[in-house]
Amino acid sequence: MNPLIQPIYDLIKDPDHWTQGVLGRDQDDNPIDVEKACKFCLVGAVYKAYPLMGDSIQDVYDLMNEHGVSASVFNDSHTHAEVLTLLESL
């Protein structure tokens, strides 16, 4: 796994910390800002792992794009296991 991906993976490796349809949720499953969330979609996990928009975020998206993956579309159309498998392959 690419070292850039590890902190993203760590945030959502537990299925109880992963979600679909919104960037983040609180412990009651209410949509919430990523900064306060405890559950993340793939895109939300990228923003949580790299809170300052910069080169790291662009590098993550470039890596996904090289593999033909749109993070938001993939997250919302695949299972948790498939999302983890994708991250492991990057």
Residue 36 lies in a domain: yes
pTM value > 0.85? yes
Number of structural domains, the chain? Answer: 1
**Alpha carbon 90 to chain centroid distance?**
13
Residue 1 lies in a domain: no
**Nearest one of 59, 51, 48, 5 to 25, comparing CA atoms:** 48
Residue 71 lies in a domain: yes
pLDDT in tens, the chain (90 residues): 889 999 999 999 999 999 999 999 999 999 999 999 999 999 999 999 987 666 678 888 888 888 898 988 999 999 999 999 999 998
Q: What is the structure's pLDDT at 54?
A: 67
Q: What is the structure's pLDDT at 63?
A: 87
Residue 73's Cβ-count burial label (10 Å; 0-12, 13-18, 19+) is exposed
Q: What is the structure's pLDDT at 48?
A: 94
Q: What is the structure's pLDDT at 84?
A: 97
**What is the enclosing helix (H) or strand (E) of 7?**
helix 6-12
Domain that holds residue 68: 6-89
Residue 26 lies in a domain: yes
Phi, psi of 26 (to 5 degrees): -85, -175
